[in-house]
Amino acid sequence: MREEYFPLRSEYNDYCNWVAGQLTNLRFHLRCMDIVYNTAKGYYVVYCMKLPFGHSVIFKCKRLVIGIGTAPYIPSSVDKDLKGVIHSGQYKYHKAALLDSQRITIIGSGQSAAEIFDDLLDDGKRPFWFTRSPRFFPMDYSKFALEMTSPDYIRHFYHLDGSTKERVLKEQSALYKGINQELVSSIYDKLYERDLDSATVKQPYLFPNCALTQVNKADNWLNCQFVHQETGRTFDHKTMHLILATGYRYNTPRFLHPLMNRIQWTSNGRFDVAADYHIDRDATIFVQNAEMHTHGYNTPDLGMGPYRNAVILNTILGRAHFSIEENVPFQGFAGPGVGMS
Ligand SMILES: Cc1cc2nc3c(=O)[nH]c(=O)nc-3n(C[C@H](O)[C@H](O)[C@H](O)COP(=O)(O)OP(=O)(O)OC[C@H]3O[C@@H](n4cnc5c(N)ncnc54)[C@H](O)[C@@H]3O)c2cc1C
């Protein structure tokens, strides 16, 4: 028996395939290009392009739920088109070239960075690993921390004021940005064992507190410049391949541009997302995974998807068709007597 019961990614993929195979209302290989609102008729017209051929397909609807995910984030200091620069999302496509590389450098200290470092270690490589964070920290999977992945915490966070939300989010990195604890330990143990067998003098190749500031091409190499976050020292580091495990960010899609005037915006130009995830005055446009600034760090969490879906569908239906769990945690996030039902 396995000691832990998280499904494998391949098992989750099988599950999604199983669900998708039973639904007749899903359409694949369609890219949404434009959405316009027909004011006279009171519906949206969604223009899509059929991939890969390019002919157009049009849908009409009264409600929209935008769930297009996030895009790979490349720091502004890096030209993504430089040869040898790879975002972690493309890692598998470049694996063969990486195995031949004379030097690989990984940037970032989240789960993706750690999995790539671990994978390359297993293939006998010795990549350099830099992070701006003060340490290679584990994700907090303790039980009271996990209680915050709940409707109760989302509701609490939602009602904080804007500047408090920004501050709280910055303090919550360990809840969603770190590395799986077992993987941290396993990497450490592999490094320890490898060094034990090595005749050469131990050299560090993991560097916390180092922010990448610039990357230039120098012959076949990439010259990376860093600044140490505590000492302020700047230094250069040469590498053949640079893997940016720098995460993903939400970009407002071009297809929403014709609807800009229907959407409500915050003072700093982000969606003004209501508690039930709508972003327009009439509660006809909803977002999923674009509401970190309003709903908090649970926004990209797959496990909370059913909750978000239930909230959105209840609004669309105009009744509580799906029941929503309340008072799940032992903790009262806003203090005694607040937010209990
Ligand atoms: C390596 C890795 C491991 C992760 N592990 C976990 C985990 O263990 N637990 C967890 O909760 N989260 C995890 N996450 C995060 C989680 O995968 C994401 O937050 C989640 O997939 C986001 O779901 P989404 O539906 O918002 O976006 P996506 O999964 O990105 O789906 C968006 C969809 O929209 C489609 N799309 C985009 N633009 C258009 C368009 N113009 N027209 C039509 N379709 C479009 C895309 O093709 C895609 O199918 C992980 C992420 C990564 C990268």
Domain boundaries, the chain: 72-142+175-248
Q: Indicate which residue's Cα is closest to atom 44 of ligand 1.
A: 31
Is the CB of 31 inside a 6 Å radius of any atom of ligand 1? Answer: yes
Per-residue pLDDT at 328: 85
The CATH class, in words, for 72-142+175-248 is alpha beta
The whole-angstrom separation of Cα 221 and Cα 241 is 8
Is 126:299 a contact under the CB 8 Å cutoff? no
Q: For 22-71, give the DSSP string.
A: T-SS---SEEEEEEEEETTTTEEEEEEEETTT--EEEEEES-EEE----E
Per-residue pLDDT at 206: 97
CA of 61 to the centre of ligand 1 (A): 24
The whole-angstrom separation of Cα 193 and Cα 58 is 59
Candidates 179, 182, 289: which one to mutate for ligand 1, based on the most atoms within 8 Å of Cβ?
A: 289
Per-residue pLDDT at 197: 75
Is 222:106 a contact under the CB 8 Å cutoff? no
pLDDT tens-place string over residues 57-78? 999 999 999 999 999 999 998 9
Is the CB of 303 inside a 6 Å radius of any atom of ligand 1? Answer: yes
Q: To 10 degrees, the CA torsion angle through 312, 317, 323, 329?
A: 30
Closest ligand 1 atom to Cα of 6: 8
Among the listed ranges 2-6, 35-39, 306-310, which one has the minimum average pLDDT value?
2-6
Query: If you count DSSP H runs as helices and E runs as strands, how many of each does the chain have, helices first?
Result: 10, 15
Quick one: average pLDDT of 258-274? 96
Per-residue pLDDT at 340: 53
Is the CB of 289 inside a 6 Å radius of any atom of ligand 1? Answer: yes
Is the CB of 119 inside a 6 Å radius of any atom of ligand 1? Answer: no
CA of 12 to the centre of ligand 1 (A): 13
What are the residue ranges of helices labelled H in the chain? 9-20, 95-99, 111-122, 143-146, 151-158, 162-171, 173-176, 181-197, 292-295, 305-317
Flag whether pLDDT at 287 surpasses 60: yes
Flag whether pLDDT at 19 surpasses 70: yes
Candidates 68, 244, 257, 273: which one to mutate for ligand 1, based on the most atoms within 8 Å of Cβ?
A: 68
The whole-angstrom separation of Cα 334 and Cα 54 is 52
Is the CB of 300 inside a 6 Å radius of any atom of ligand 1? Answer: yes
Is the CB of 32 inside a 6 Å radius of any atom of ligand 1? Answer: yes
Is the CB of 29 inside a 6 Å radius of any atom of ligand 1? Answer: no
Per-residue pLDDT at 40: 97
Amino acid at 277: Y
Could you tell me what percent of the chain has a pLDDT over 70? Answer: 98
* Strand duo 128-130 + 104-107: pairing: parallel
Render the burial of 30-63: b for 16+ CB within 10 Å, e for the rest: eebebbebeeeeeebebbbbeeeeeeeeeeeeeb
Per-residue pLDDT at 335: 94
Flag whether pLDDT at 87 surpasses 80: yes
Flag whether pLDDT at 341 surpasses 70: no
Longest dimension (CA), the chain: 78
Per-residue pLDDT at 1: 56
Is the CB of 288 inside a 6 Å radius of any atom of ligand 1? Answer: yes
Is 44:62 a contact under the CB 8 Å cutoff? yes
Could you tell me what percent of the chain has a pLDDT over 90? Answer: 88
Indicate the SS3 state at residue 115: helix
Per-residue pLDDT at 339: 63
The whole-angstrom separation of Cα 94 and Cα 100 is 10
CA of 288 to the centre of ligand 1 (A): 10
Per-residue pLDDT at 203: 82
Per-residue pLDDT at 198: 76
Flag whether pLDDT at 152 surpasses 80: yes
CA nearest 62: which of 234, 257, 226, 283? Answer: 283
Per-residue pLDDT at 308: 97
pLDDT tens-place string over residues 186-213? 999 999 998 887 777 778 899 999 999 9
CA nearest 45: which of 35, 30, 56, 55? Answer: 35
Polymer length of the chain:
341
Per-residue pLDDT at 241: 98
ipTM of the shown complex:
0.95
Q: How far apart are the first and last CA of the chain?
A: 40
Per-residue pLDDT at 3: 63
Flag whether pLDDT at 4 surpasses 70: no
Per-residue pLDDT at 53: 84
Q: Tokens at residue 180, please?
A: 């799986």
* 194 or 100, greater pLDDT: 100
Quick one: average pLDDT of 154-180? 95
| C-alpha 143 chain-centroid distance | 22
